[in-house]
Amino acid sequence: PGKFPVLLARTPYGKGHSDQSRTAARGYIVVVQDTRGRGQSAGVFDPFFDDERDGYDTVEWAAALEGSNGKVGMFGGSYGGWTQVAAAMASPPHLVEIFAVFPAIDFASHQIFFEGGAFRQLLAESWSAAQTVESYGKTVGLLAGNRDAFLTLMKQLPTGGFMEALHREVMKRGGGGYFRQWTHHDPGTEYWRRIDVSRKVAGIRVPGCYVGGWFDIFGPATGALFAAVSREAGTPEARSRSQWIQGPWTHAGSKAPAGEVDFGKAAEISFGAAERAWHDYWLKGEANGASALAPARVFVTGENRWLNLPQWPPTNAAPYRLYLSKGGRLAASAGEAGKDGLLANPSDPVPTLGGKLCCHPGFAAGAFDQRPLASRSDVLVYRSEPLAEALTFAGQGEVRLSVSCDTPDADVVVKLLDIAAGGQAVNVADGAVRLRYRDSLERPAPMVPRRVANVGVKWGPVAHGFAAGHRIGLQLAGSDFPNYSVNLNSGEPLESGVRPRVAHVAIHYGRGAESFLELHQLR
């Protein structure tokens, strides 16, 4: 064996985006590989679905390179974060560690292209559009060079329809046809279960450092992955020595704006420094303190400080409930029974305003004042009384709602708000549920008209401090477009639905209902 460890990145975005010469000069063999069907790699690009087995093969190939000492670590962000997790799930013997930044992963209800069953249209379509130029052109070239396939196209009538026939064939052969597959397969089907990381955590046998953002579209899945790795990973070392860093960041990174809120200089950490220390410790054995850092390091928004925790969720946090009540109030206990109406009109959806978004520059992710939406007739806002003292919350968050509607389906989008004394209402966390998936992603069922159903909406991990005098707010809407596709409310399939219906949704509260938000207050 040689004397150098290997650092490996697998990416669909091209190998020329980063200069790794300085990394190599620090004593590493650096390998950057185009994923299947991208760049100079052969095959068909089927995003996400080949990376587990391809990752295994590439790690083992890299370990055997001339000059390698057999130790392989991985690096990269976004899709390059997913390729690390995918490889780790496959348990290649020579993989030692991973450092995954904003990994694009499926985890239970927090799926890459679905959240609570609602289709993340902005992400799916903007990302697909960005990848199509290369995939489409490459597929056209392969098809044009295939004599028999091209001859078949030339025989099709009418002759004037050649370009349309070529387009159909290119889409079938990997030029972007994967998008049709995403909309064809419901979120709980076997198609998506193949890449659901929550089903394969035991295969992860190496320590990982997972970096996420409160306003990154994959932030909830990143936090859920770390918590699951700490419980279920395949080795004691992976369970006890993995780490998680979660800051007030969007998918654009720690230096990019995160909406209208300034989270201070403390939020602008260097991923590069943390990554170098991580690799040097695990691959070279350097005593640099990387492994002695707190397993969970989360940024508390609202207080703009870092919180170091031995585990996530924290054990010193107690459930804190507020119940939806008459007059748009959030109260400490359930009161008089009642209901509020929520209109969901597919022809006039509630526009997206901040939150966890990707990947179109025209729609900014992050924290924004939500008051422009509160004036709409199809948005409900519930507010607590002004807080007598500051409260800090850290842990998983969820909203439970008793809901009925007059259509087979509808969406409920929730946002946790921090409402200042002056009225500014900033989004802290958000989530959604498509009501046909209220019981299970695997077993969708239409709503029964006017029958009340109890549903849960998970918004993932939260670490936020509410100042004294502020109010805790909850915003409910029937849409959030284009973040989520508009629900036609008709129960038609996502792929082919064309008949929109206006849904009249009722939110039931008070005694006999199950409508509350739950946070976890740090003690």
| pLDDT, position 35 | 97
The residues near 454 (Cβ < 8 Å, ≥ 6 apart) are 400, 401, 402, 403, 514
Q: Which domains does the chain have, with CATH numbers?
A: 4-113+196-256+264-300 (3.40.50.1820), 118-186 (no CATH), 317-522 (2.60.120.260)
Report how far residue 261's alpha carbon sits from residue 370's, in angstroms, rounded to the nearest whole number.
Answer: 12
Name beta bridge partners: 457. 399
The label of the residue with tokens 């179109």 reads: 360
Report how far residue 298's alpha carbon sits from residue 91's, in angstroms, rounded to the nearest whole number.
Answer: 28
Report how far residue 182's alpha carbon sits from residue 518's, in angstroms, rounded to the nearest whole number.
Answer: 32
Please tell me what DSSP assigns to residue 423. -
| pLDDT, position 166 | 87
Closest listed residue to residue 299, CA positions, set 386, 403, 212: 212
| pLDDT, position 233 | 98
- For 465-496, the DSSP string reads EEPTT-EEEEEEES--BTTSPPP-SS---TTT
Structure tokens at 113: 């292209």
Please tell me what DSSP assigns to residue 352. P
Please tell me what DSSP assigns to residue 80. H
* Spatial contact of 417 and 354, defined as CB atoms under 8 Å apart: no
Give residue-wise pLDDT tens across range 110-155: 999 999 999 999 999 999 989 888 878 888 888 888 888 889 888 8
Q: Which amino acid is at 252?
A: A
Report how far residue 414's alpha carbon sits from residue 398's, in angstroms, rounded to the nearest whole number.
Answer: 10
Please state the pTM of the whole predicted model: 0.94
3-class state of residue 322 by DSSP: strand
CA 93 to chain centre: 29
The residues near 14 (Cβ < 8 Å, ≥ 6 apart) are 34, 38, 39
The residues near 426 (Cβ < 8 Å, ≥ 6 apart) are 260, 261, 367, 368, 369, 370, 417, 418, 419, 420
Structure tokens at 361: 């520059």
- For 366-386, the DSSP string reads BB-B-HHHHTSTTEEEEEPPP
* Spatial contact of 463 and 299, defined as CB atoms under 8 Å apart: yes
Helix (H) or strand (E) holding 8, with range, is strand 4-11
Report how far residue 64's alpha carbon sits from residue 6's, in angstroms, rounded to the nearest whole number.
Answer: 10
Report how far residue 219's alpha carbon sits from residue 460's, in angstroms, rounded to the nearest whole number.
Answer: 8
| pLDDT, position 197 | 97
* Spatial contact of 322 and 417, defined as CB atoms under 8 Å apart: no
| pLDDT, position 1 | 60
Surface-to-core class of residue 115, CB atoms within 10 Å of its CB (0-12 exposed, 13-18 middle, 19+ buried): buried
User: In the chain, which residues have pLDDT < 50?
Assistant: none
Closest listed residue to residue 13, CA positions, set 78, 57, 58: 78
Report how far residue 397's alpha carbon sits from residue 334's, in angstroms, rounded to the nearest whole number.
Answer: 19
The residues near 261 (Cβ < 8 Å, ≥ 6 apart) are 248, 301, 366, 367, 426
| pLDDT, position 143 | 84
Q: Measured between alpha carbons, how far is residue 280 from residues 46, 98, 204, 237 in Å?
A: 33, 12, 20, 17
| pLDDT, position 256 | 87
Q: Measured between alpha carbons, how far is residue 416 from residues 34, 94, 106, 381, 385 in Å?
A: 40, 43, 23, 10, 15
* Spatial contact of 217 and 352, defined as CB atoms under 8 Å apart: no
The label of the residue with tokens 């596709």 reads: 485
3-class state of residue 398 by DSSP: strand
